[in-house]
């Protein structure tokens, strides 16, 4: 008769050998682990500094809104530029969504502050740094398309251009109203 107890010892020995083979820990593996930890620590530190800088810029933005201050909008945008520039390669791919939002806010704040040229430059930087990414307003309109229309990067007088742009219906109707009164 076949007894399972006789198979227990060979089974335990085979399992021990298999599990033991998987547990190879060499000094090279240890160095890779330390390198990974150091790189991860550098990323985390860079992101902490970035977020602290960004939070200062957001506070400036809040003050600019309450005071309706063009100078504060420009200062907030410049600080956001500085935050992005000082981020460094350690954390270039970390926190991409919040970085897109910060760069978009800098575009918007340069626009509100009256520095159209710098707003155009930052919009171009945003499109290059984050290709294929866009932000959307609550009504579903595109941030990039809207800013391109506001910054004069799209032909506002061409009906087809305006219809193809993913901007809010309010913006479209206002631009159509301006065009009407300009030509009549």
Least confident of 14-28, 94-108, 143-157, 163-177: 14-28
Checking if the pLDDT of 160 tops 70, the result is no
Indicate the domain borders of the chain. 38-132, 139-184
Q: Which two tokens stand for residue 122?
A: 């930052």
Of 87, 102, 106, 105, residue with least CA distance to 49: 87
Q: pLDDT tens across 28-74, in order?
A: 545 556 777 887 888 888 888 999 999 999 999 999 999 999 999 99
pLDDT of the residue at 137? 86
What DSSP line would sit under 90-137, residue for residue? GGTTTTHHHHHHHHHHHHHHHHHHT-HHHHHHHHHHHHHHSTT---B-
């Amino acid at each position: 008769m076949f007894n399972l107890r006789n198979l227990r010892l060979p089974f335990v020995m085979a399992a021990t050998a298999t599990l033991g083979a998987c547990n190879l820990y060499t000094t090279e593996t240890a160095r890779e682990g330390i390198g990974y930890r150091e790189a991860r620590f550098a990323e985390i530190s860079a992101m902490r500094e970035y977020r602290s800088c960004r939070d200062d810029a957001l506070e400036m933005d809040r003050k600019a809104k309450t005071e309706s201050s063009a100078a504060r909008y420009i200062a907030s945008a410049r600080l956001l530029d500085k935050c992005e520039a000082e981020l460094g390669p350690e954390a270039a791919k970390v926190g991409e969504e919040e970085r897109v939002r910060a760069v978009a806010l800098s575009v918007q704040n340069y626009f509100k502050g009256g520095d159209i040229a710098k707003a155009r430059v930052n919009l171009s930087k945003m499109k290059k740094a984050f290709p294929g990414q866009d932000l959307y307003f609550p009504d579903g309109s595109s941030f990039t398309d809207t800013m391109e229309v506001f910054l004069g990067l799209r032909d506002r007088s061409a009906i087809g251009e305006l219809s193809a742009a993913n901007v809010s219906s309010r913006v479209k109707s206002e631009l159509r109203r301006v065009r009407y009164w300009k030509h009549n």
